[in-house]
Amino acid sequence: MLESSPTHILGISAFYHDSAACLLRDGEIVAAASEERFTRKKGDAAFPAHAVDFCLRQAGITRDDLAFVGFYDKPLLKFERILETYLGIAPRGFGSFRKAGPLWIKEKIYQDRTLRDALEKYDGELYYAEHHESHAASAFFPSPFEEAAVLTMDGVGEWATASIGVGKGHDLRIVKELHWPDSLGLLYSAFTYYTGFKVNSGEYKVMGLAPYGEPKYVDLIHKHLIDLKEDGSFTLNQKYFNYLGGLTMTSPAFNELFGGPPRAPETLLTQREMDLARSVQDVCEEIMMRMARTAHRETGLENLCLAGGVALNCVGNGKILRNGPFKNIWIQPAAGDAGGALGVAQLIWHRHLDKPRTVVPGKDSMKGAYLGPEYTDAEIETALKGVGAKFEKFARPELTKRVATHLANGKIIGWLNGRMEFGPRSLGCRSVLGDPRSPKMQADMNIKIKFREGFRPFAPSVLRERVSDYFELHTDSPYMLLVAPVKNERQVPMTAEQKKLWGLDLLNLPKSDIPAVTHIDYSARVQTVTADTNPDYHALLAEFERQTGCAVLVNTSFNVRGEPIVMTPLDAYRCFMRTHIDYLVLGPYLLAKGDQPEWKEEGDWRTEFQLD
């Protein structure tokens, strides 16, 4: 009997921010990647042509082998929302609409033709899912749960800004939605803009800045900006916002309420910005918790899955895990719009084709999020020889020992090994690593490697079997999306004099015996590492523990500020040479900075990337 050929499904997210592609073969995730990694343009919103080509190459197929192509939202519904918004506020915002209207009409109404042309005249079936359904599918279908409540939160899709769903087996349905213009994502982005950071990329800076401040403005936010209900739904007072028809997030009334204009980007941070960050973070956590409780009450289930841009707020996620009503939570590692490509592909497989879902208890189907390109030894060596690099090749055990020794001696390591991660976090395949015991490692990495603000915290990678020895966490956190307290016995209490300090004066105080990964509130954004998903990285952590007694490493993304995470060996070498990284690992190859030829390039490379 002839076997039927496999069913290949391509999912696409594009045209807003963080475009991506994902490919399924008979429901299994074969490949997924964001377009920015190929084009080196952070948050690239263009059609993900390079990501699509990669997915097809990884699967060994052509466009003619695709059974379905899915798009992560419904353009006509989105256009309806845009049009109704402008009509609702007319004549205000007419100038903006006049400029953008023709582009929207072309993009939204003729989306079919745009997609088919971009896919080189693809003539198969196109499938469109609603934006929050794509998020919900990306959260539930790969999760380790047979059934779960699903909570999605972001800026806006078509009309929905948040949703609660129920997933059981291969069935997923949305039971409750919050609609535009009331949006937790946009509330948070308004404060991102107001505190001088870039919307859609600087929100994590607001989260990192929050512990330096006091929640001085929480009452003001509740009194004037938001009418919050017990179930987590709310309305925003649009008097204070300008995103409906303007070119900024906040209005003059917002400026007046909070005592002045928005902070100009790259200017001095003051205690005011820290207090604003803390205040909106506290409000965000309260809303997330209320929504989670409602999801639990509506569904009666003990598991929760999260997706949407707000699900990248790992502080809020950690509080839901510790203080919320759910026994277990799982967060999609590509929680933002990139993950929509995965979600729509899985909706086609499970809903449209009615295919069953196999769940392995305690194990998700994301393959550690290691779904991007990888490079052979020959490809790495060719790239290195092409730039005249000096390198040595080692067997893996010897390489692991040498790298662990360099880390123990305070050296900073660039580490490219295996398949690139899908999502915004480096998880041990495109990482910069350091010794968490060093009190100066955070400052060194921020200033000499990342060229970014000194207040930004770094995350720890820890052996999964040792996580509870370091953090108040007793579950997997493979995707660096849960914040947990450092264990009390590891904390360094502040002295009476230190307690008088405020704001950034607290930055360089040792806060634990792993100070480089302990934020000023004694928290850490934890990544647990297992041997089954990343054996080489797990072996490095184990060897570092053998040499030092510490089962933790500093893990930050392999890039400089404003640059997408490196993808290729050449991307990694370039970043290595532009920064103060001491050693570079590319697969089995080890490079020492002092051995390399002088690095020369025309112009100032720092102008190459737009600051985030």
Residue 245: pLDDT band with limits 50, 70, 90: confident
- Name which of 227, 243, 245 is nearest 235 in CA terms: 227
pLDDT of residue 1: 43
Domain boundaries, the chain: 184-331, 377-607
CA 22 remoteness from chain centre = 16
Give the side-chain half-sphere CA count within 13 A for 367.
15
Q: Tell me: the pLDDT tens digits for 394-435?
A: 999 999 999 999 999 999 999 999 999 999 999 999 999 999
526: tokens are 């934890």
Distance from C-alpha of 219 to C-alpha of 226, rounded to nearest angstrom = 10
Q: Does domain 184-331 have CATH number 3.30.420.40?
A: yes
Is the pLDDT reported for residue 603 higher than 80?
no
% the chain with pLDDT above 90: 79
Asked whether the beta carbons of 449 and 403 are under 8 A apart, the reply is no
At residue 295, the 3 state secondary structure works out as helix
DSSP H or E stretch at residue 23: strand 20-25
- Name which of 8, 17, 7 is nearest 119 in CA terms: 8
CA 126 remoteness from chain centre = 27
pLDDT of residue 441: 87
- Strands across the sheet containing 552-557: 392-393, 589-592, 583-586, 413-416, 430-434, 552-557, 459-463, 523-529, 482-485
Q: Tell me: the pLDDT tens digits for 87-136?
A: 665 556 555 555 555 555 656 567 888 899 999 888 999 999 999 999 99
- Name which of 410, 505, 495 is nearest 454 in CA terms: 505
Question: Which pTM does this prediction carry?
Answer: 0.94
pLDDT of residue 201: 85
**Higher-scoring residue by pLDDT: 508, 234:** 234
Residue 543: pLDDT band with limits 50, 70, 90: very high
Q: Tell me: the pLDDT tens digits for 260-309?
A: 999 999 899 999 999 999 999 999 999 999 999 999 999 999 999 999 99
In order, the DSSP letters of 389-403 are: ---EE--HHHHHHHH
Superfamily of domain 377-607, CATH level 4: Carbamoyltransferase, C-terminal domain (3.90.870.20)
184-331 matches 377-607 in fold: no
pLDDT of residue 95: 59
Asked whether the beta carbons of 223 and 163 are under 8 A apart, the reply is no
pLDDT of residue 16: 87
The DSSP code for 370 is B
- The Cβ of residue 297 has, within 10 Å, a number of other Cβ atoms equal to 12
pLDDT of residue 86: 60
